[in-house]
Amino acid sequence: MEVHKWFENKDYWQGVAIFNRLSTNQFLKDLFQSKSEYTVKKLEDELRKFSSDVPESEVEIKPPVNQVEQKKFDNSHIVKKLKYDLQQIYRQIDSNRFALARCKSDKTRLEYAIQILKLVERKRMIFEKIDHFEEHGELPDIVTKQTVFVTPELQRLYVQVNKMEKRLQKPDDQLRNKAKSEQKLREKKARIAQLVAERKGVEL
Where are the domains positioned within the chain?
A: 2-61, 65-145, 150-204
Q: Specify the pLDDT at position 73.
A: 74
Average pLDDT for the chain: 78
State mean pLDDT over 9-32. Answer: 88
Residues above pLDDT 90, as percent of the chain: 3
How many helices and strands, by DSSP H and E, does the chain display? 9, 0
pLDDT digits (tens, 9 = 90+) for 54-90: 444 344 444 444 677 777 777 778 888 888 888 899 9
Q: Specify the pLDDT at position 149.
A: 52
Q: Specify the pLDDT at position 12.
A: 92
Residue partners of 113: CB distance under 8 A and separation at least 6:
100, 196, 200
